[in-house]
Amino acid sequence: MASPPLLSLRDVRLTFGGNPLFEGVTTWVGRGDKTCLVGRNGSGKSTLLKVLAGQILPDSGELFVQPGTRIAYLPQDPAPDADTVRDYVVLGLPADERDQTYRAEALLAELGVDPDRSTVGMSGGESRRAALARALVGEPDALLLDEPTNHLDLPAILWLEERLKSYGGALVVISHDRRFLEQISKQTLWLEQGLVRRAEFGFAGFPAWQEETYQAAEAELERMDNLLRRELHWLARGVTARRKRNMGRLRALNGLRQERAQRFGARQDAERRAQLAVDAGDVSGRLVIEATRISKSYGDKLVVPEFSTRILRGDRVGLIGPNGAGKTTLLRMLTGDLEPDGGTVRLGTNLEAAYFDQRRDRLDPERSVWDTLTDGRGDNVWVRGQPRHVVGYMKDFLFSDNQARTPVSALSGGERNRLLLAKLLAKPSNLLILDEPTNDLDMDTLDLLEEMLADYEGTLLVVSHDRDFLDRLVTSVIAVEGDGTIGEYAGGYSDYLAQRPTRPSEAARIEARAETIAARPKVQAKLSYKDQRELDELPTRLEKLATEIAKLEVELADPALYEKNPARFDLAVKRLDAARDELAAAEERWLELESLKEEMAARS
């Protein structure tokens, strides 16, 4: 470790329903670490993150938090519970700083959320943006994020990436977005069968590491199988004649069987993969969709300007753009589900469409998994013209037998996703329409979905913010930019970035943010004697704090300090945190007083 940990787990054990979820977990996160936590859906990643956050107590073992460490936690399904978004975000500030509402307003401006908006009826994307602002606003020492990119559009994801790259605390993040993890992570925690492995490299190195680990396990399994076969051969020939003398060897054989079952039986269950396949149905005509100068407005707002395109059989088209820009509206017009205000849409012949809805509206929450797949008729699912028993088909999508009668309302987001995929892929189609299919999918199921779509012989329309998914899958991109323009580009998302016209720079965005902050109401009309004196003294105070922080950072950079003098190390860490907070507050106060002074001068 480069520095002593801010958070660590030692020999942690946790059980659910009598079954161990974790066993002997020992790991850590240090200041400056940017750690991704990976593992299959259901492996316990979110629970482990809650243990790190102190929200769940383990059955045994220890959670250590460096004294004075401030932790911010983003849950997978945030539910803002204050009157307004501003009130909710301000709760992320330390108690003595909650009057500094402008800090919440500045973050919300960057994320495009109205601070005065009621938290009632917020969309998934709005709730996540508000929750991100709350997690970030207090500049915590440790940041624990569970699926932060879910329901975010690409501009918000890119903004978050830049924010996390410059974050200096301890970061742990769970995400299915590969490109996002590759961009931000420097360490990897891999949760597998209740054990946590740690690697000092980011997610970019994880696939190779995972493959090497599995190959080593396969080699060990083969070695144990060979040993087991030899022991069984010996047992069949000689145990009867030498029963008393060799009972110890027989017990060893039974122990070997148990060890093999414990080490590899669970893995074989865990490695069940979603068996995804799709029937491309009958061949459609060569022309699938032809749109000519189509447009759509809602009131005075032009959502889709005049746009034309031709989509041919076998094309794989990705639709991208900010939330609210009009992607879904355009998709509905292209597929004949919504009439354009102007222009025409011509659909090809012999089309059989299958639709994956972003909001899962096509699942009845009161129906069971069984009835959803069979439409309430019998116990078979017709898959590509052949009957399959519903329980066997469920298992292909990683459902267990006892979930057959579970209502849809009791399923997790990932399970609903898989259920909708199971229903969708049983239906023959030659036009697949996928609206945000990757939300809540674990990486293994996402891999198989990509493989299935790569083999699909029909035409594909997909709305997604997942850059890696788009790069692996689509042959062209329609970009709904949100500023009244729509463009079409050959290739995937990376090709779109290389071809598109220059967009507003980061400097322009920062300037816009500064204007937003500068426009906030001032609480004072003029400087009082006390304020003027404080303003005069602040530069000296800022200089002293900066000097003190530099000295403390030099002292703490000594790797031997923690071993030689733990008490001094703890004291220095606490003082460094306090000095940084004091410096930030002093800088904010100086800016506030200077702004008031300039405003007063302008009015005089």
Binding-site sequence positions for ATP: 39-46, 321-328
Q: What is the layout of strands, in order, in the sheet containing 142-146?
A: 71-74, 142-146, 170-174, 34-38, 187-192, 195-199
For helices 124-137 and 101-111, the axis angle rounded to 10 degrees is: 140
Measured CA to CA in angstroms, residue 300 lies from 344, 485, 498, 561, 573 at distances of 21, 16, 33, 65, 56
250 residue type, one letter: L
Known binding positions: 39-46, 321-328
Alpha carbon distance 266, 193 (integer Å): 7
For 539-569, give the DSSP string: HHHHHHHHHHHHHHHHHHT-TTHHHH-HHHH
CA angle 352, 357, 360 (to 5 degrees): 130
If we measure between CA atoms, which residue out of 596, 504, 513 comes closest to residue 105? 513
How deeply is 578 buried, as exposed, middle or buried, from its count of CB atoms within 10 A (0-12, 13-18, 19+)? middle
- Give dist(CA 445, CA 397) in Å, integer: 9
| 87 HSE (CA, 13 A, CB side) | 10
Checking DSSP bridges between strand 486-490 and strand 476-480, what pairing results, if any? Answer: antiparallel
CA distance readout (Å), 603 to 207, 526, 556: 62, 10, 48
Contact 360, 416 (CB under 8 A): yes
Two tokens, residue 290: 């032809």
DSSP character string of 476-488: EEEEE-SSS-EEE
Confirm if 309 and 477 have CB atoms less than 8 A apart: no
Instruction: Please give the backbone phi and psi of residue 157, each rounded to the nearest 5 degrees, phi first.
Output: -65, -45
SS3 372: helix
Please enumerate in sequence order all residues whose Cβ is within 8 A of that of 370, keeping only pairs 6 or more positions apart, or say none. Answer: 379, 390, 394, 404, 405
Helix axes of 154-165 and 101-111: crossing angle, nearest 10 degrees: 130
Q: Of 272, 277, 276, 278, which is closest to residue 398 (Cα–Cα)?
A: 272
| Chain centroid, CA 90 distance in Å | 24
Length of the chain as a residue count: 604
Q: Do residues 141 and 113 lie in contact, with contact meaning Cβ atoms separated by under 8 Å? A: no
Burial (CB count within 10 angstroms: exposed 0-12, middle 13-18, buried 19+), residue 228: middle
What's the rounded Cα separation, in Å, for the pair 563 and 388?
63
